[in-house]
Amino acid sequence: MIDFSLRADHPSNTKTDVVAVAVHEGQKLSWAAQDIDKASKGALAAAVKAASFAGRAGAVLPLFNLTGVSAARVVVYGAGSGNALSAKDARATGRALAACAVELEQAELTVFPLAEGAVDAMQQMVLGVSDATYRFDETKGTSTKPKPALKRVRFGMPEAAAKAAPAALKNAVAMTHGIEFTKYLGNLPANHCTPTRLGDEAKKLAKSHGLKVTVMDRKAIEKLGMGSFLSVTNGSEEPPRFIVFEYSGGKKGDAPTVFVGKGVTFDTGGISLKPAGDMDHMKWDMSGAGTVFGVMKAVAELKPKQNIVGLVVACENMPSGKATKPGDVFKSMSGQTIEVLNTDAEGRLILCDALTYAERFKPKAVIDIATLTGACVVALGSHNAGLFASNDKLADDILAAGKKMNDRFWRMPLEEDYQEALNSNFADMANVAGREGGAITAACFLWRFTKKYDWAHLDIAGVAYKGSGKEKGATGRPVAALVDYVMANEK
């Protein structure tokens, strides 16, 4: 895990393995680059010109043997044409600088952000460094590669940003810890990351971070009357778990924010069996639960003066002689009955009981996070998660956090007109409607269980993981946005 901190040296006087300074398009030097150029008697500007460095955001140029500079190496990074880096470009720059330091086999990197937007850029660079250096090695054998050499990243902030920098850095570092934990849980294979394992991880997290946690087994879940949740577990040999985290940073009796995560540790589709292709992706169907773990970890480190609850519904969805069959009817914790027309629409069946359970906390807001529908992936692809909300301010606050942290959402409609498609002749509702508006009707199903509080639903099916290529794995989204949402409520 990278050690992040601040330092107050001038760029040219910074004793470090690698010092990174910005150059804009047109080879215009930033304040930090000017300092190094002056100390090196024009060598930096000359090297940038000789290399025809365009200054494109995300590009890096290592320079060697600059005299008059305390750092062992200087790396120039592109700052684009504007006065400040966008969140996206700052994240990409963090990734590129970390990769460059690793390639150079250097242990310490010191970065000097642009004067304008320095604090926001620093936060994004921290997340970018984390992205670039994260490794999942737990299930590798003798082929495990050595870990990156980069151990420390320092930030030299312009004077105007010095006051706000410590709190912003603390927030960003806690986000990386949460994101990396979410990635870790998501990348575990389903034979390792079972509902029982999630319960055990919850207890470990609670012990190490001062959280209260309750892990309920099947008997306790039955006692709660969570018939909808349990219907999904019928075909699996793995016992389910219902996990309740509680962080009490606010006053006793203050209404908490409740996060609810879908934790299907493997989803075959049940009797409505999925196609074989890419079914390995279904180990990431617990990404909503992983997000709750990551958010709770970050919250416990940041200690906001709020009350936060995390609910995780964890199970497998498997076919067997005991599995739920299409057409079966079950009673949810709310007392409403559900006709299960498609057993592969299981996420809403487990979430609805957790959303009912959330009522007991008298919450100020409930946000559920789930890899809920392929329809959302079709609608939005892999760049924006779907956002549905019963309250405009809640939606706006989540959208703002997503924009700030480059962890974006797109608000989708939540309207009564869509509810008719969920009507059933044999129960209070069906668990699926037709193909049209599938992400919307899934959200409308959940909406029926949230009438007693303000609620938002995040469909993260398109953003929670990358399913192919060298970056295949969990992304840790949307931990950063949700942590920022929590901390924004401190103001």
Residue 73 lies in a domain: yes
Residue 187 has pLDDT above 90, yes or no: yes
Claim: this prediction has a pTM higher than 0.95: yes
How does residue 365 score in pLDDT terms, banded at 50, 70 and 90? very high
176: its two tokens: 């990386």
Residue 168 lies in a domain: no
Structurally, how many domains does the chain consist of? Answer: 2
CA atoms within 13 A on the CB side of 407: 27
- 20-72 pLDDT, tens digit each: 999 999 999 999 999 999 999 999 999 999 999 999 999 999 998 899 999 99
Residue 149 has pLDDT above 90, yes or no: no
CA distance 423 to 433: 8
pLDDT at 64: 87
Mean pLDDT of 252-266: 97
- 280-308 pLDDT, tens digit each: 999 999 999 999 999 999 999 999 999 99
Residue 458 lies in a domain: yes
Of 142, 163, 184, which residue constitutes the final position of a domain?
163
In a shared domain, residues 263 and 326: yes
397: its two tokens: 């606050």
How does residue 145 score in pLDDT terms, banded at 50, 70 and 90? low
Residue 226 lies in a domain: yes
H helices within 145-187, ranges in order?
165-187
Residue 169 lies in a domain: no
In a shared domain, residues 41 and 85: yes
Residue 148 has pLDDT above 80, yes or no: no
In a shared domain, residues 146 and 211: no
In a shared domain, residues 125 and 191: no
Of 136, 163, 190, which residue constitutes the final position of a domain?
163
In a shared domain, residues 324 and 420: yes
pLDDT at 8: 85
CA distance 172 to 110: 16
Active-site residue numbers? 274, 348
pLDDT at 141: 81
DSSP code, position 121: H
Residue 170 lies in a domain: no
DSSP code, position 29: B
In a shared domain, residues 389 and 359: yes
Residue 187 lies in a domain: yes
In a shared domain, residues 142 and 203: no
Residue 142 has pLDDT above 70, yes or no: no
pLDDT at 490: 82
pLDDT at 241: 98
CATH of the domain at 265: 3.40.630.10
pLDDT at 143: 64
Residue 434 has pLDDT above 90, yes or no: no
- The rounded mean pLDDT for the chain is 96
Of 163, 197, 212, which residue constitutes the final position of a domain?
163
In a shared domain, residues 78 and 133: yes
In a shared domain, residues 144 and 216: no
CA distance 113 to 124: 11
In a shared domain, residues 158 and 194: no
- 87-117 pLDDT, tens digit each: 999 999 999 999 999 999 999 999 999 999 9
pLDDT at 416: 96
Which residues constitute the domain of residue 262? 175-488
pLDDT at 239: 98
Residue 404 has pLDDT above 80, yes or no: yes
Contacts 24+ apart (CB under 8 A), 104-107: 104/17, 104/18, 104/62, 104/73, 105/149, 106/17, 106/18, 106/72, 106/73, 106/149, 106/150, 107/17, 107/149, 107/150, 107/151, 107/152
Mean pLDDT of 3-21: 95
In a shared domain, residues 223 and 122: no
CA distance 459 to 67: 53
Place of tokens 């009955």: 337
The string over 117-143, giving b where at least 16 C-beta atoms fall within 10 Å of a residue's C-beta and e elsewhere, is bbbbbbbbbbbbbbbbbbeeeeeeeee
CATH of the domain at 125: 3.40.220.10
CA distance 172 to 151: 17
Name residue 455's beta-bridge partners. Answer: 366
pLDDT at 140: 86
CA distance 70 to 18: 10
pLDDT at 146: 66
In a shared domain, residues 246 and 150: no
Residue 188 lies in a domain: yes
